[in-house]
Structure 1
Amino acid sequence: MVGQAEIPARPLESALYLVATPIGNLGDITLRALETLAAADVLACEDTRVTRVLLDRYGIRQRPTPYHEHNAAEAGPRLIDALAEGRSVALVSDAGTPLVSDPGSRLVEQALAAGIRVIPIPGPSAVLAALTASGLPSDTFLFAGFLPVKDGQRRTRLEELKAVPATLVFFESPRRLADSLVAMAEVLGSRNAAVGRELTKTFEEMRTGTLAHLAEHYAAADTPRGEIVVCVGPPSAAPPPDAEDVDRLLLSLAAEMPASKAAAEAARMTGGRKPDLYRRLMDLKADDAG
């Protein structure tokens, strides 16, 4: 079996390696990630027990050291010292890509400030797994992390994100999922969305529908188990302004400023092209003069 084979520990150059690990299915680890974990002089992780399961699965003889939000102030400088001495350090989170909702960003900042090279070892990501399976636009998206726990702050944050022209991706606690979906439906309006649960694991689920439909479902259902990712489609494009409204706007602006500036301001306000609006304004003025 693959899990019984010992991964060779090839020499690594001194650098901080950000190693993505499986979000559920241990088979999703990359060969490069395994080689990096086996060869690193220091392996830093959120929870040594979680990382130990992965290491044992692939016969990697490493002794991981903890690095998490509660000890980052003490552990971070020790890792930077190791790097400054020419050693290699691999950083992993409990699952997925380091620095996504974990304290690894502090360590990267410290490493870069010290002139230390940072090397990403890409792989599994709950954000991308959910996004690609959601059926929502993936050409532009914004990962917004966890929403605030308190309802008022949660809604304020959603108001800030409301106009973002992209698919929004959130992490959410199973206990808060129903309440967050209600807030999303009320603040963001009628949008298509998807809730991914236990992605890549045995009981993986991807449920799609409108925000209102999903809010209703999870309000009536038992509290779900496992890791949750919520994807929300972008806002609908605003309908183009009525031609008569644009004409009135052009004439109103032209009464207060030069024609070229009026056309530029109308373009900003309507999304139209300045040359087209300028020509239309000239036509309107010619009609009035005639």
Structure 2
Amino acid sequence: MTNTISVSGLRKRYGDVQAVDGVSFEVAEGEFFGILGPNGAGKTTTLEIVEGLREADEGEVELLGLKPWPRNAKLLPRIGVQLQATSFFERLTAREQLRTFGSLYGVPARKADEMLETVGLTEKADERVEKLSGGQAQRLSIACALVHDPELVFLDEPTAALDPQARRNLWDVLRAINTEGRTIVLTTHYMDEAEVLCDRVAIMDRGQILRLGPPAALVRGLDAPTRISVASGTLDAEDARRLTGVDEVTDDGVSLVVETRDPSSVVAALSAKDALDGVQIRGATLEDVFLELTGREYRA
């Protein structure tokens, strides 16, 4: 499969801070690729270098077979970029905004208007951009990145600060875009988003890629227990600890949670004791992988 992006040995320093430290990865044509990491991990700097917005100190980048830096005019019609913060032209409607962006690439007004339907903004076409909700503004931002029909799309935290309904709606838009054959590179803080959308993810911290692969494969590679919870009072905590295969038991007065690496035995034992009231079974997730690699301490 052809690689749309090839990155090798990328480094970028700002004073004493090594923002990107030897990053290498490839993105295949048509792939939905995610870059995950805590604040300050180097995600945005990496993306800006790959997009050709920033010069690397060291390393090689190829985008669609071309070098993005120095700024390569041949690449501009072939890529779409949605930044963390998008500034729209004031006092323009959504339709006017999109037509203006499209005109920079010679896109006819009719085709620009069709993009409003793609992102579900047809009914808001004549609404001024400052009156759009957060989710609607994000969809318009993505429409502006797609209006010239790019082969490759970069999305930097596109669902940040959106409510759950707006996030899920935007996921549907992004799936549809990827299904059309476009390659998408996404940065996000939301692990569930990466699990749902991405074919592969790279987990970054302190300027380096710590782990790279399909989300399901990364989760399977984590030695983490399965958590089985039942309603508190269904079973005494001490009785639960005596069950075969139990690693740890906690009871917060709402749920009794059993951690185990032998879930089938524990579920069978709970069933035998008629203690499956409100049972929930949760395996490891990408969030567990992320925390295992990057730590649990808060970073501003």
Name the one with the larger strand percent. Answer: 2
The alignment's TM-score, normalised by the length of structure 1, stands at 0.29
The alignment's TM-score, normalised by the length of structure 2, stands at 0.29
Higher RCO (C-alpha under 8 Å, 6+ residues apart): 2
Max radius of gyration: which structure? Answer: 1
Name the one with the larger helix percent. Answer: 1
